[in-house]
Every structure is written in structure tokens, then in C-alpha cells.
Amino acid sequence: MKFSWMNKLKEFAKKLDYDSEDPNSGNVQNLDNYQTTKAFITNTLRNNDVVLFMKGTSEMPQCGFSNYVVQVFKFYKVKDFHVVNVLDSDMIREGIKKYSNWPTIPQIYIKEEFIGGSDIIKEMHMDGSLEHLLQREKLI
């Protein structure tokens, strides 16, 4: 009883399939409520410099806006951008909107900071501020 909170934490971690040593751990299939979803998102952002929440994968985007962001990242040759396919999980698809307080997909995070969606990436690409940001953060 005294350490019930520790047991709860253990169960929580097990449920999340979370290994703090592994930067890409966390199974989207195990997300059954917002708390676990939020933990998954936080963990993903902490362990990856560039994260793209999108529809589909970078090899097979399922939406024009998501594809646009992938192509922009490829254009700048962004090394290792991490993709979360929101179509894999409704919990993620809705959870990331709540987490970011942003209503649409795709969503881009750079060094744990929310940058915006495809419209913002487009504008930043066109005015040079995206290249500037990527260079400043040593991501290209």
C-alpha cells in the first residue's frame, strides 16, 4: 500500500512499452487515454530534434499538406526527421491536436518547439526563415 504509486508507475511504463534508454520507444497501439498519449508525445519530442506529425509516412504520404512538408524537409536535406503517422492511431490523431492546441495535421516540432502546420512551413520556406532556423539549430 505504501508503494502503490510505484506499482502504478511501473504499470504505466509497461503499458506505454516505454524504455527510457531507447529514443524511439513507445508503442502507439498501447495508447488508451490522453495521459499515455501525452507521455508518448512528450517522449517523442524529447528524443528527436525534428518531429513531423503527419498523415502517412515519408515514403508514402497520405495527404497533400503532409507531403508538402516532407518534400520541403527533403529539399533542405534535413537529417533524420522523425515521422509520427497519425493514421496509425486515433488517440495520436486527436491527442496531438489537443497537445499542441492546433486543429490540423501536419504539425511540425523543432527541438521540442511547435513551429506550425504546412502553411507556416510554406511561408517560412519562401521567406528564408526556415533555412535560417535549420542552420541555426545545426539540423542541416
Our finding on whether 26 is near another protein (CB under 8 A) is: no
Please select the residue that binds another protein; options are 2, 29, 60, 103, rule is CB under 8 A: 103
CA-nearest of 76, 69, 64 to 120 is 69
Our finding on whether 29 is near another protein (CB under 8 A) is: no
Our finding on whether 34 is near another protein (CB under 8 A) is: no
Bridge partners of residue 78, in order along the sequence = none
Kind and range of the H or E run holding 85? strand 82-85
Please select the residue that binds another protein; options are 51, 124, 134, 139, rule is CB under 8 A: 124
Which residue bears the cell 496509425?
A: 88
Our finding on whether 62 is near another protein (CB under 8 A) is: no
Bridge partners of residue 61, in order along the sequence = 56
Bridge partners of residue 81, in order along the sequence = none
Contacting positions for another protein (CB under 8 A): 65, 101-104, 114-117, 119-120, 123-124
